Structure 1
Amino acid sequence: MKTEQHQMGEAHDPQRRELMRAAGVATVAGIAGLAAGLPMVAQAATAKRRGVLGDRLQGVQHFGITVQNMDRAFTFYTEVLGGTEIMRDGDFQGEVIHNTLLLTEELDARQRQVNPHTVGIPDLRGGAQRLDVRFIQFDNVVIELLQYRDSNQPQGSGAAFAPPLNQTSPAFPKAMHVCFYIRDDVDFNQFIHDLETASAKRGMVNVKANRIVASASEQQRLAAPLDTMSNPITSGKSDGWTLIYAKGPEGEQLEFVQVRGQAKKVFDGAIAARR
């Protein structure tokens, strides 16, 4: 607190009083300028971040699998793997949906001077073929099943427009796979055994998981011990990661993983850092 003598000194020193007044005005102006500048800085930062594509995303919404038999695939992903149907729609046709889904493939075919129909491009534009879809919810992602069929084929179990790809090996460029996350407290090997058993009971004998030992025949693969149905990694950066690859009912490439230990710390840390 200022003393009375100090206050009187300021009152009788016009030059000092003017200097302090000017300093006060400058301080107030500086604070006001800073306050006014904060929104501008924030706006500039926001504008800059608009150029970063990742900042405009909310993550992965779904994986799509084009199937040969919609009903069979739907049964696998709901009854065997326990997904929940969200919605189904279908009989899609017309100019807009054709261009939305198939324009680049069509242009590529025409550039190569071949009939688009002969290289597996359906005619949704004219309605000769139709598209049906079903969405299935899992805990953290959605699976979309798609079937392209001729217009005279029934929805669900009708014949597909094009034959399935013979090669879905992950070694092929452009090949993709869907990976399912097994809970930490689940016996991985038993899960794979039960996956094949539950699928076979529904006639899906083509649902097959790899083993970590070589097999010379399908009989040997089936006869492999239970503990060969998963590959637990126990060293290096992937320590704690357990995996196996499998084929789904449509021949699609699937993976099942369990992430614990060091690997879990790495992935959890990455999520926290991104957030």
Structure 2
Amino acid sequence: MSTHHSSTDLPDDPVRRSLVLAAGLGAIAAVPASAMTMTMAGAGEQGQSQASRLAAAPTRGRGALGARLQGVQHSGITVQNMDRAYAFYTEVLGGTEIMRDGDFQGDVIQNTLLLNEEIEARQRGVNPVSLGVPDLRGGAQRLDVRFIQFDNVVIELLQYRDSTQPQGSGNSFAPPQAFTSPAFPKSMHVCFYVREDVDFNQFVHDLEAEAARRGMHNVKANRIVRSGTDQERRQAPLDTLTNRITSGKSDGWSLIYAKGPEGEQLEFVQVKGQAKRVFGEALEARGRAVATTRS
């Protein structure tokens, strides 16, 4: 791939083009087309006010915001080492690659992803790098992405690397965040379903073992008992690897939190019994409400 690949370039292959758009990069890749549309509209409607143009828009585009959505497209994780994260989500957790792209740079991608952080750095009078802002604008850093498909969710891996670093194996331009506690505001996590017929305790045990076999010793699952050291955590009995909720609306919900290979916060859950009914009824109610709104 050319080292001058721009975030505004669309692939010539129509199949790959559709994948890019479907995977969530359309907002980045389609900027030139959008800009052209706005320019042409401005030339032909100079005497028309913005309000009248909005009034002429389809009704569906002006309804309640929630009615304009069709679900969550993906969850994203910014990683320190792309190849390591990719191996975890595909080889350990069994996801399937949808696509990969990269070497994104230039004004459009910088503004699209990092404009607020640049403004904040300017207002605080600090170097944008101190706030974790790479220089995609000038090309000193580049963005690479890979999309991974699971049964009901897509995970996007993102890596911001120096232009001198190779794609995939090179380290990110910035160090990982120092604080990884999920209790910090703005923290996020990715939650994976564990199938109902799977032994949850054994799954968590095997997750750590398989990750460690691949050198990912930082993949660590919590226990439901207190541990004073990491060795104590590892030596805790197998039946302490699952928090099983047995009362209330969450009855039937089993969970554990774990750290992924990049320090990212993960959750694994099993949903049975009352909890499964609660979620199932909510999904059916949501479907009825959406159908009524769109009818």
Query: Displacement of 1:49 after TM fit?
Result: 8.1
Q: Match of 1:180?
A: 192
Deviation readout 1:62-114 (Å, 9 max, x if unpaired): 00000000000000000000000000000000011110111111011111122
CA contact (8 A) 1:67 1:147 kept: yes
* Cα 1:115–1:81 shift into 2, 3 Å: same
Equivalent residue in structure 2 for 1:210, among 201, 215, 222 = 222
Which residue pairs with 1:192 in the alignment? 204
Gaps of 5+ in 2: 1-57, 288-295
Q: What is the alpha-carbon root mean square deviation over aligned residues?
A: 1.2
Q: Residues of 1 paired with 2:101 and 2:70: CA distance?
A: 24
Q: Distance in 2 between matches of 1:161 and 1:242?
A: 38
Equivalence for 1:225? 237
TM-score by length of 1: 0.82
CA distance in 2, matches of 1:142, 1:222: 30
Q: 1:120 aligns to what? A: 132
Q: Is the 8 A contact 1:49 1:55 kept in 2?
A: no
Aligned residue pair count: 230
What corresponds to 1:59 in structure 2? 71
Q: Give the direction of change, closer, same or farther, for the CA distance of 1:49–1:274 in structure 2 (3 Å limit).
A: farther
Q: Taking structure 1 as reference, are residues 48 and 84 closer, same or farther at Cα in structure 2, changes over 3 Å only?
A: closer
The answer for the alignment partner of 1:246 in structure 2 is 258
Q: Deviations over 1:188-224 (max 9, x none)?
A: 0000011001101100000000000111111111111
Letter paired with 1:54: G
Alpha-carbon distance change, 86 to 235 in structure 1, aligned in 2, over 3 angstroms: same
Deviation of the 1:119 alpha carbon: 2.2
> 2:279 maps to which residue?
267
SS at match of 1:263: helix
| Equivalent pair of 1:65/1:143 in contact (CA under 8 Å) | yes
Alignment of 1:133 with 2:145, yes or no, is: yes
Where 1:143 maps in the other structure, the secondary structure is strand
SS of 2:249's partner is helix
1:150 maps to which of 152, 157, 162: 162
DSSP 3-state at the match of 1:136: strand
What is the alpha-carbon distance in structure 2 between the residues aligned to residue 80 and residue 258 of structure 1?
18
Counterpart CA distance in 1 for 2:107 and 2:59 is 36
Q: 1:117 Cα deviation (Å)?
A: 2.3
Q: Which residue of structure 2 aligns with residue 99 of structure 1?
A: 111
For residues 212-246 of structure 1, what are the alpha-carbon distances to aligned partners after superposition, in whole Å with 9 as ceiling and x for unaligned?
A: 01111111111111110000000112111100000
Distance 1:133 1:237, change over 3 A: same
- Whichever residue aligns with residue 208 of structure 1, its letter is K
Give every structure 1 segment of 4 or more consecutive aligned residues whose post-TM-superposition deviation is greater than 4 Å: none
CA contact (8 A) 2:60 2:68 kept: no
Please tell me whether the aligned partners of residues 117 and 131 of structure 2 are also in contact (alpha carbons under 8 angstroms).
no
Q: TM-score, normalised by structure 2?
A: 0.76
1:169 alignment partner in structure 2? 181
SS in 2 for 1:135: strand
* Counterpart amino acid of residue 93 in structure 1: Q
Between the aligned partners of 1:55 and 1:184, the Cα distance in structure 2 is 32
Cα shift at 1:118: 2.7
Q: Provide the C-alpha distance between the structure 2 equivalents of 1:232 and 1:118, rounded to a whole number of angstroms.
A: 42
CA distance in 2, matches of 1:211, 1:80: 20
What is the rounded CA distance, in whole Å, between the counterparts of 1:266 and 1:50 in structure 2?
31
Question: Does the 8 A contact of 1:240 with 1:261 survive in 2?
Answer: yes
